Amino acid sequence: MNGLSILGTGRSLPDHIVTNDDLARRVETSNDWIVSRTGIRERRFAQGETLTQLAVAAARRAMERAGVGPQDIGLCLMATVTPDWITPSQACLLHQELGLPEDCPAFDLSAGCTGFLYAMETAAAMLPRMARPCALLVGGELLSRITDMDDRSTCILFGDGAGAAVVKSTEGAPWHALLGTRGNREALWAAGPGNHPAYLHMNGQEVFQFALKTVPELARSLLDKAGMDRDQIDWYVLHQANHRILEGVAKRMKVPMERFYENIGRYGNTSAATIPIALDEMAEQELLRPGQWIMCLGFGAGLTWGGAMFRW
Ligand code: COA
């Protein structure tokens, strides 16, 4: 059975930093409240950058790190809920900018904050049938586009950014993945495009409880599938939604927080981009070493969830 190997990663964030104090000048909130409830200190909001620009920059970096060119890419997947255009897809815009080959299909995946995990597992399934060896996977969002900046219960949580990975289908590479969905339009939603403005709405406590219950169960199922123990995983790379969710999952799994990567304080929740951004930062900081076991876990609107276990 073929599994996925990650050959290179990349990320791109908008330049403009928005602090909690900046938000507190617009809505009734405070730095202390936001930090204590979420762990978020600042986030980036695009000011002029398009999602295409961020996605292209992240993708170019991932391809450079992987040592591959457009001729090596046989599949281009973009996980996003905030594309620049309704059609063609964000993946097609990326395909054009990067000059990818015509036998490289390109399409978007909409699975909320779980999008990058959906893209990974889709690539694992499709790549062996593609004409070229590698897939380009990008998770990217400009959530500021669909965030009501006057709603203090949501505007403090979200941010903009893009992360990318070049993956290869490799015989014998360990790969275990699980995806799930429970259709629900009441927990986390943005209606549109017929409804203007198509803002994000959320039942924060429901999403919080869903994450705390679902993610540890997902991790357990993945470990059972692989016949492994939680202590054999070197790094848990979770979707960055809230520091308290990371802490709660770690506690329920009885895994020390040191094995959970965290950057929520700097970027907030960038939805489908959090996991590839985290992987890229970890690679850059040389936290990831060949042979280490990584477990990525995502959850979000849909409701959706997904996990993947693989070796670096
Ligand atoms: N600043 C100050 N007060 C705020 C506030 C803010 N930014 N946002 C909400 N509040 C208030 C509420 O109005 C409420 O006031 P009340 O008691 O007078 O009604 C109070 O704080 C408590 O609100 P509550 O919603 O119970 O807070 P919470 O502890 O559940 O934290 C979230 C709210 C959103 C931080 C939390 O529910 C959360 O992180 N949920 C998960 C969200 C998420 O991750 N979504 C994306 C998933 S992919």
pLDDT digits (tens, 9 = 90+) for 229-273: 999 999 999 999 999 999 999 999 999 999 999 999 999 999 999
Distance, CA 267 to ligand 1 centroid (Å)?
18
Say which residue the tokens 């970096």 belong to: 61
What is the pTM assigned to this prediction?
Answer: 0.96
Q: What atom in ligand 1 is closest to the CA of residue 152?
A: 7
Distance CA 9, CA 294 (A): 15
Distance CA 135, CA 106 (A): 10
At residue 183, the pLDDT reads: 96
Instruction: Clarify whether 263 is annotated catalytic.
Output: no
- Rounded to an integer, the average pLDDT of 94-102 is 98
Q: Where are the domains of the chain?
A: 2-171, 175-311
Instruction: Clarify whether 242 is annotated catalytic.
Output: no
Quickly state the pLDDT bin for 2 (edges 50, 70, 90).
confident
Fold designation for 175-311: Peroxisomal Thiolase; Chain A, domain 1 (3.40.47)
- 2-171 and 175-311 in the same fold: yes
Distance CA 47, CA 97 (A): 21
The pocket around ligand 1, CB under 6 angstroms, is made up of 29, 33-34, 37-38, 113, 152-153, 156, 202, 204-205, 207-208, 241-242, 269, 300
Residue nearest (by alpha carbon) to ligand 1 atom 47? 300
Options 3.40.50.720, 2.40.160.20, 2.40.128.20, 3.40.47.10; CATH of 2-171 = 3.40.47.10
Contacts 24+ apart (CB under 8 A), 284-293: 287/235, 287/261, 288/235, 288/312, 292/234, 292/235, 293/228, 293/232, 293/233, 293/234, 293/235
Residue nearest (by alpha carbon) to ligand 1 atom 38? 204
pLDDT digits (tens, 9 = 90+) for 135-150: 999 999 999 999 999 9
**Is residue 221 within 8 Å of 308, Cβ to Cβ?**
no
Instruction: Clarify whether 239 is annotated catalytic.
Output: yes
